[in-house]
A and B are shown apart, each in its own frame.
Chain A
Amino acid sequence: MRQEVEDFLSGPSSETYLALRRLVLSSANYRPDLDFVDQLWKALDAGDLARADDLSPRLIPTYLLNPRAHLGLAYLHGRKGDERGEQFEFYFCQQVRKFLLESGDGSRERPYQVTSVDEVHYIAGALEAKVKQVSCEWVGGRFHDVLLTDRGDLYFDTCVALAAYA
């Protein structure tokens, strides 16, 4: 996976992003039912850097493509005075954010392609859409999340995440 990460960061493109996504989803350790990103941010908010440090390696592989995970790691590095690590994670965050937001348009026909529920809410936040209701729907036999928002319905393909719940 290290080579694919290097390929993506040195040449961010749909191809290198999707190659990384395929690796994440095919990993035996892909566990989107474990909310480590939330736990990381709770630790950071509480100023518990030791706990945040403990959680960091557990974000991989599941949350490798999650912008909020990389933002949290950037914040953690910054708090520890590691400027290089902070810059690296911030760059990683920007790149995965770009391709995540370009993975769909939120319509029923072109849902966002996410690897976790956390990314569903990240996208809604990035679009500044106020979530009124959460629901789910089958589209062509595939499981989708539907957020009812003040900007209309937003669709997310969460089929792979749901299938991976242990």
Chain B
Amino acid sequence: MTPAYLLSFRILPRLLTSDPARTRKALLEEGLLRKLWIHASLHLGTQLPEPAPRLETFGEVVLITMPPPLEPPEAYFLAVIGEEPKVYTLELGKDFSSDEPCTYFCGATLEGHHNYGKGCIPEAGAFLAALAGIR
């Protein structure tokens, strides 16, 4: 397991489920993302990976740009929308028929991982547009 996986699929979904408003506030005002990155690395006993994730806001959307994924299902981007207890992700995957790399648009909650199907190109604008499409 990598810090990116731990952060995206284990830590953030449970934090959001336990208190969405607190998580959002900490992400936006308390530097929580950087701290969670360190925290995940410490749990896994790994060197702090570079580059660290970056955070931007687009209205209600908190967009997190992850370090380039190393293997499926690590994510290119994470998004937290408003106070939804869910992390939307654009993940690196493999096409089932061709075995070629591709992306999947997914959601991670405390209950598990939801795959919404093939994703967009791994660019922030395309991911934001895809997010708008599901709301």
Contacts and interface: CB of A to CB of B under 8 A. Distances in A.
Interface of A: 32-33, 35, 38, 116-118, 120-121, 133-139, 141, 145-146, 158, 162-163, 165
Contacts of A137: 14-15, 18
A166 B68 CA distance: 24
Given A38-B45, A141-B19, A141-B22, A135 B14 contact: yes
Nearest to B16: A138
B39 A117 contact: yes
7 contacts: A116-B42, A136-B15, A137-B15, A137-B18, A145-B43, A163-B35, A165-B38
B89 interface: no
A135 B10 CA distance: 5
Nearest to B40: A134
Nearest to B15: A136
Nearest to B6: A134
A120 to B, nearest CB: 8
A35 B42 CA distance: 7
A24 to B, nearest CB: 17
Contacts of A146: 14
A133 B34 CA distance: 21
B45 A138 contact: no
Counting chain A CB atoms within 10 Å of each CB, the highest count among B22, B34, B39 belongs to B39
Contact of A133 (B10, B15, B45): B10
A165 B35 CA distance: 6
Contacts, number: 47
Contacts of A116: 42
Counting chain B CB atoms within 10 Å of each CB, the highest count among A35, A120, A121 belongs to A35
B11 interface: yes
B23 interface: yes
A38 B45 CA distance: 8
A139 B17 CA distance: 11
B45 A134 contact: no
A81 B43 CA distance: 33
Interface string B1-27: 000001000110011001100110000
Counting chain B CB atoms within 10 Å of each CB, the highest count among A116, A121, A138, A139 belongs to A138
Nearest to B31: A165
Interface in B91-113: none
A40 B22 CA distance: 36
Counting chain A CB atoms within 10 Å of each CB, the highest count among B10, B14, B45 belongs to B14
Interface in B15-62: 15, 18-19, 22-23, 34-36, 38-39, 42-43, 45
